[in-house]
Structure formats: structure tokens, C-alpha cells
């Protein structure tokens, strides 16, 4: 449990490192904005694919998994905070150690361009992301629903492009 919490803090620390990079090289942020957005898109798609791969390889009720995926897509259109979906995906995969390490790494890399782009925006958005990631840690306490939560997070990440 402690390893999961430490890994999630490291994954989330990419936001702060991205903000630090933007402070160190502010003249690179504006021309690189397009590339940071493309990198975010590619990484969120990769995270969704890893989540779906993990869900498909596990045993479960496929109709409920498809329904969770669809609910994730629909809810992502209403709730625009991406870090809640990243946190749900990360914490729902905590039991699968190999997938968890991969997701934590991908979320760290995703957070770097996100933090770089957040420098220009308000601190309120950063605090909202931190709070959403912390709230999503409740997925740790629902191990029976891991596949459904992972499918929900994958759907939300795909629906939130």
C-alpha cells in the first residue's frame, strides 16, 4: 500500500516538474505549445490502451465492462478534470504490479507537458488537478470493481480528447 502511494506521488510530481521546466525556459513554452498538446493526446491514448489491455486480459463480465467504458466517455464530456480519470485508472490497477508501474510512468510523462502548459493558466486549475487525483485514490478501497473502474477511466480518457 505504501509503495502505491509513493508511486502515485512520483507520477503526479511530473506536474510540478513541468511547471519548473516552463519557469526555466519560458521562451520555449509558446512555440512548443502545439507539440505539448500532441504529446498529451498521444500519452492519454496510450494510458487508455494500457488500461483496456489490462481489463481485456482479466476475467470479468464484458457487458458491464463495455457499459463502464461508455459511461466513462459520456461523463468525460461533462466533467472536464482529466486527473480524476488518470487517478482512477492508476489506483484501479494497483493490484496488477506490472501494469501499475507502466501506468505510473506514463502518467508522470503525461504530467510533464501538462505542467508546462499549466504555467500560463491559473493556480486554481493546478489545485483542482491535485484534489481530483487525491479523490480518485478512493479507488484503492474498491478492489472488487477494479476492472470496471479501469474501463471507466479508459473511456473517460478517450472521450476527453
> 145 burial class (0-12, 13-18, 19+ CB within 10 angstroms)?
middle
Write down the pTM of the prediction.
0.85
Give the range among 54-68, 80-94, 138-152 with minimum mean pLDDT: 138-152
Distance CA 70, CA 28 (A): 38
Q: Which pLDDT band, with edges at 50, 70 and 90, does 79 fall under?
A: confident
Distance CA 109, CA 10 (A): 11
Percent of the residues in the chain that have a pLDDT greater than 70, as a whole number: 91
In this prediction, residue 109 carries a pLDDT of 94
In this prediction, residue 29 carries a pLDDT of 82
Q: What is the mean pLDDT of residues 41-48?
A: 92
Give 25-39 pLDDT, tens digit per residue.
888 888 888 999 899
In this prediction, residue 57 carries a pLDDT of 77
In this prediction, residue 143 carries a pLDDT of 66
In this prediction, residue 43 carries a pLDDT of 93
pLDDT higher at 102 or 143: 102
Distance CA 119, CA 99 (A): 30
In this prediction, residue 107 carries a pLDDT of 92
Distance CA 119, CA 43 (A): 20
Give 105-138 pLDDT, tens digit per residue.
999 999 999 888 877 666 677 777 777 777 777 7
Amino acid at each position: 500500500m505504501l509503495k502505491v502511494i509513493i508511486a502515485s506521488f512520483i507520477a503526479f510530481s511530473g506536474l510540478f516538474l513541468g511547471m519548473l521546466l516552463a519557469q526555466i525556459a519560458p521562451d520555449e513554452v509558446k512555440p512548443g505549445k502545439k507539440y505539448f498538446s500532441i504529446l498529451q493526446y498521444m500519452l492519454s491514448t496510450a494510458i487508455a490502451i494500457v488500461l483496456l489491455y489490462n481489463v481485456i486480459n482479466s476475467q470479468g463480465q464484458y457487458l458491464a465492462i463495455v457499459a463502464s467504458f461508455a459511461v466513462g466517455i459520456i461523463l468525460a464530456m461533462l466533467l472536464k478534470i482529466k486527473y480524476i480519470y488518470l487517478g482512477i485508472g492508476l489506483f484501479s490497477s494497483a493490484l496488477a504490479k506490472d501494469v501499475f508501474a507502466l501506468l505510473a510512468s506514463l502518467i508522470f510523462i503525461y504530467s510533464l507537458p501538462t505542467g508546462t502548459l499549466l504555467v500560463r493558466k491559473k493556480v486554481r486549475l493546478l489545485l483542482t488537478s491535485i484534489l481530483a487525483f487525491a479523490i480518485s485514490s478512493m479507488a484503492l478501497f474498491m478492489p472488487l470493481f477494479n476492472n470496471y473502474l479501469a474501463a471507466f477511466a479508459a473511456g473517460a480518457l478517450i472521450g476527453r480528447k
